[in-house]
Amino acid sequence: MQDYRLDPERLSGVLGEFRGPAPVQQWQPPYCGEIDMRIARDGRWYHEGQLIRRPGLVQLFASLLRREPDGSYSLVTPVERVTIRVDDCPFVASLLGASGAGELGMLDFTLNTGERVRAGPAHPLRVTTIAGEPHPVLQVRDGLEALISRNVFYELVELAQIEASEEGERLVLWSDGAKFVLGQL
């Protein structure tokens, strides 16, 4: 199987254009239980232990995904709501497009579902630490986040500027008028 993560045009050709999420926040259907569906840390979707190989089907499910107030994840339609398991973040930011510099910078991410998200006030980027390793995430929508892949995180580090702060020097980036801190030096 070929790796389409590095070429945005090929990725778009394979996945098709992401048509956007369904209005799942407006729907309040009855809860119908949990189904055996899981989103792995690498962004792959599984049903009953089997990898879902059809990108269009993954896009459809991703468009129906909702984060519940208790932190769980549900697939929601107008007539039913079922919970699924998510190992980390439900999406993975696998491509980065950067333009401008400094405070005029723009960071555009392509997710494993083909969805494109620009980091900014509505889509903040944050980096925490898990087990001593950076855990960079991008807010996608309504509590849903994308784990930033390792190669994209390295690209962000290369683009970052060093800034002095009260705690010492830190790496910062700007996108869509918002400043994001990648970490302390």
Residues 107-132 have a mean pLDDT of: 96
pTM: 0.87
- Residue 60's Cβ-count burial label (10 Å; 0-12, 13-18, 19+) is middle
* Domains of the chain with CATH codes: 8-86 (3.10.540.10), 91-184 (2.30.270.10)
| Nearest-angstrom CA–CA distance, 17 and 154 | 27
Residue 116 scores a pLDDT above 60: yes
pLDDT band with cut points at 50, 70 and 90 for residue 89:
very high
Angle at 51 between CA 48 and CA 54, to 5 degrees: 120
